[in-house]
A = this chain, B = another copy of it.
Amino acid sequence: MTTRQDCDVLDQEDPLRELKQQFDLPAGTIYLDGNSLGVLPRETLGRVQQVIQKEWGQDLIKSWNTAGWIDLPGRIGDKIARLVGAAPGELIVADSTSLNLYKALSAALRISLEQAPERKVIVSERSNFPTDLYIAESLAQQLGLRLHLVDNVADIAATLNTDLAVLMLTEVNYRTGYKHDMKALTAAAHAAGALVIWDLAHSAGAVPVDLNGAKADFAVGCGYKYLNGGPGAPAFVWVHAKHAQRCWQPLSGWLGHAAPFQFTPDYQAAAGIKRFICGTPALLSLAALECGVDTVLAAESLGGMQALRKKSIALTELFIELAESRCAALGIRLASPRDENQRGSQVCLSLDAPLHEAGYAVMQALIARGVIGDFRAGDPARLDEVPHILRFGFTPLYIGFADVYDAVEHLVQVLKNEEWKRPEFNTQGAVT
């Protein structure tokens, strides 16, 4: 079994170890929740100060031109493009993931309904992140379509038929960390005549993504998880070049207009992906996002996303090894795919009965020890398939092998000492 000493050696030999210096990490904390909210880059405060004091405070309205505010959604979009296999000019930063999905799904459905009006079904997974399902439910209801949710990945294949308009999936599942085969599923859906939208919320900056290589149709993603953009950072949206110049989206705000500063009363969509911009972007949050994206791009000279993925797999494999060998007898079992190729950059654990209901308290006890993960309640109606889980994200930019060792050690202590039984850990109320 891997020892703490082994982990120190792994950290010393880690070719990505210097990347951690990019962040201000809180002392005494092992932060395994970067899949929910990424940490603070050292550059962010200074950059946001610059935007506030100089660009806003001193230069005021001029900064739309002189500080390049107007170009920021595209400039940051081009940077994110490098992380997800997209070309410059194909991806834009705007609004939230939910809103970008609304735009992308609207666009995809219009294309589908124009080409094949008999296709009336949107397919997704019941375990997809709820906001994706809520947005799809809204559009299905408005357009008289049906949202079909599958309970298992294996059930997707049967839905790829002549009823299918759009297959809408999140590449890496937010609960289990299950990672779809984007290229194979996209090809299969295309073979069935449907379009595919990928939500990269748990992919961008976490796993290598090749949108153009997979020939995906649309993609959206999140700025505040693995991209370290800060709380509620703006999201992004990408459209394949074959759709970009002609597709329609309904949230037609003035900054998505071909000539916004001509202030004409009629809407004319901007060229390409810029038509997916709606209103004025939240500049402070946008500037912070760029600093976060830069922390991931800093890995490019060290092997980029492939190197990050290699370390991510090593971290999650180590966590699984240690958690299973040291905690199985304490009632812990793996709830994420064991196959590294089917796993994103996170690992989830479930708890055997009678510990199963104690998941929330176990996580609170861990957090009290400085190990920050999160708890996600299961589906009360089918806890066998969707159990309560302890969720741990491993961000190779700033998590090391000794961190993984120590996190498991804390988990062992929480379980052995039954620390989770303390009353202060048994008050439900978790957020994100």
Contact = CB atoms under 8 A, between A and B. Distances in A.
Interface of A: 24, 26, 29, 31, 33, 36-37, 39-40, 44-45, 48-49, 51-53, 55-65, 69-70, 95-99, 102, 126, 128-131, 133-135, 137-139, 142, 149, 224, 230-235, 250-254, 257, 260-267, 278-286, 288, 367, 372, 374, 376-377, 429-432
B52 A129 contact: no
14 contacts: A26-B57, A26-B59, A37-B61, A40-B56, A65-B431, A95-B96, A102-B251, A130-B264, A134-B257, A137-B252, A137-B266, A137-B267, A231-B284, A232-B286
A99 B52 contact: no
A367 B59 CA distance: 11
Contacts of A97: 279-280
The winner among A63, A142, A374 for most chain B CB atoms within 10 A is A142
Contacts of A257: 130, 134
Contact of A99 (B99, B126, B288, B367): B99
Nearest to A139: B250
B232 A131 contact: no
Nearest to A124: B265
B48 A52 contact: yes
Contacts of A284: 48, 230-232, 282, 284-285, 288
A110 to B, nearest CB: 10
Contacts of A36: 61
The winner among A33, A263, A374 for most chain B CB atoms within 10 A is A263
Given A96-B278, A133-B266, A231-B280, 16 more contacts: A24-B57, A26-B58, A29-B60, A31-B60, A37-B60, A49-B49, A61-B432, A98-B251, A99-B251, A99-B253, A99-B278, A130-B260, A130-B267, A139-B250, A231-B283, A261-B430
B138 A252 contact: yes
A133 B282 contact: no
A359 to B, nearest CB: 14
Nearest to A65: B431
